[in-house]
Amino acid sequence: MNKILLIMQREFMTRVRKKAFIISTLLSPIFFAAIAILPSYLVSLEVTDVRTVAIVDNTMEFTNVIPSTDYIKIAYINDTPVEQLKGKLDEAGYYALLVIDSTGIPNQPALTIYSQKQPAIDVMQHLENTLEKEIETRKLRAYNIENLDKIMADVKTKVTIKSLKISKTGEEKESNTLIAMAIAYIMSFLMYMMVLITGNQVMQGVIEEKTNRVVEVIVSSVKPFQMMAGKIFGMASVSMLQIIVWVVMTAALAGVGINIISEKTAIKPSTEQMQAMAQADPQLAQAQQLATNTTNETGNTFINSLMNQNFPLLIGGFIFYFLFGYLLYAAMFAAVGSAVESITDTQQLTLPITLPLILAIIVMISGIKSPDGPLAFWFSMIPFTSPVIMLTRLPFGVPTWQLALSATLLVATFVLIIWLAAKIYRVGILMYGKKYTWKEMIKWISYKG
């Protein structure tokens, strides 16, 4: 045991000190976090500076209708001709100029915006939405309906389907299929990649030791099994460290990033304006208030269902399935590495190993649509595919007995495979000068110690 630890330690230290490891471990979270934050960040970018939109209302019907927001200031101008304004938008410090002209038909103004750059989407939306609402209200009012305010408030409807997952104990949780799918995709692919990459690294390490003839020296001090186990576990500890750094750093970075951005992006009409508007037009203010609330609610649903994902279970599941999935595959990769003398000889031999992994990814893509279907179920039980497929199912919720069965099968298979792989490894590392086949390698299993 002590020797396995020594070999693990050596493996760990040499890998962890490599520049490539340090860079990929520290930079990947920045990359992951960036992917998570980027969409919100890009949105936030457009509203960071205050822009003033000048409005010339030639109809005189829409004066003071459009409110200013934190980032969009509205200036109504009636003392300067349009032509003059158009010429000196920049000098006057205006971002855009909105001209409201009459078309002759009531409540149907001709709207034109002048700007030196394409006006930003948030500015356009703000102008359009406010005017749309104002005109709608005016048209409705023209019908002279009694108690219009009350009816309007009553009619205002927003439909959102709240999706709740009911657990066996009757507990209800907000869920979101899209979020579950996204998490399933990310976890399954990450698992697939990491098992394949680290498994290959183990194989390369074994080949290097064999061709260097380091094995000859070490094998007189330790049993080949200890050497192989030390290498595999050493590599596992390296990957675990990497995963933990990734999880912690990504969570921290993304958390901080989202906080900063969400504070910046909260677009709401400035409080002063709201108060002023409430006095001038209580009805409009109410509608505005309602709209703001709805937006907040949508955002909350997203965050709620994200938060309601059982993160301890997901992270725990990922670590467990990565650990044993990796160990299972690494043992097979180590056996292949022991039988060859150069990485170019491995291709035919690794094909049968990588096949189940590739199959798992194919099953994942269709299984993600019906995570409780028979396909996903069976492949989440088979130990060679369960590390990938169980992670596909996990965000959608998996019955405990299935999880337990799949985990037990995986551990049991790992024990069997590492035992067989050690028998191949033991013979393989001391065999030179020939390209061996799986048939021959399987024969080695029966060789006497």
Which parts of this chain interact with another protein (CB under 8 A)?
A: 3, 6-7, 10, 14, 209, 212-214, 216-224, 430, 443, 448-449
Q: C-beta of 349: minimal distance to another protein in Å? A: 19
For another protein, give the closer residue by CB, 10 or 133: 10
Query: 240: Cβ–Cβ under 8 A, 6 or more apart, which residues?
Result: 319, 323
Q: C-beta of 231: minimal distance to another protein in Å? A: 12
For 170-234, the DSSP string reads --EEE--HHHHHHHHHHHHHHHHHHHHHHHHHHHHHHHHHHHHTHHHHHTTTS-HHHHHHHHHHH
For another protein, give the closer residue by CB, 172 or 216: 216
- Does an H or E element contain 75, and which? strand 72-76
For another protein, give the closer residue by CB, 57 or 209: 209
Q: C-beta of 232: minimal distance to another protein in Å? A: 17
Question: What order of strands is seen across the sheet that includes strand 96-101?
Answer: 72-76, 51-57, 96-101, 110-115
Query: What size, in residues, is the chain?
Result: 449
The CA-to-CA distance between both ends of the chain, in Å, stands at 19
For another protein, give the closer residue by CB, 88 or 434: 434
For residues 419 and 286, what is the distance between their CA atoms, to the nearest angstrom?
72
For another protein, give the closer residue by CB, 6 or 152: 6
Q: C-beta of 207: minimal distance to another protein in Å? A: 13
C-alpha distances in angstroms, 290 versus 135, 153, 156, 275, 284? 18, 9, 9, 15, 10
Q: C-beta of 445: minimal distance to another protein in Å? A: 12
Q: C-beta of 447: minimal distance to another protein in Å? A: 8
Beta strands in 117-156 (DSSP E): none
For another protein, give the closer residue by CB, 374 or 449: 449
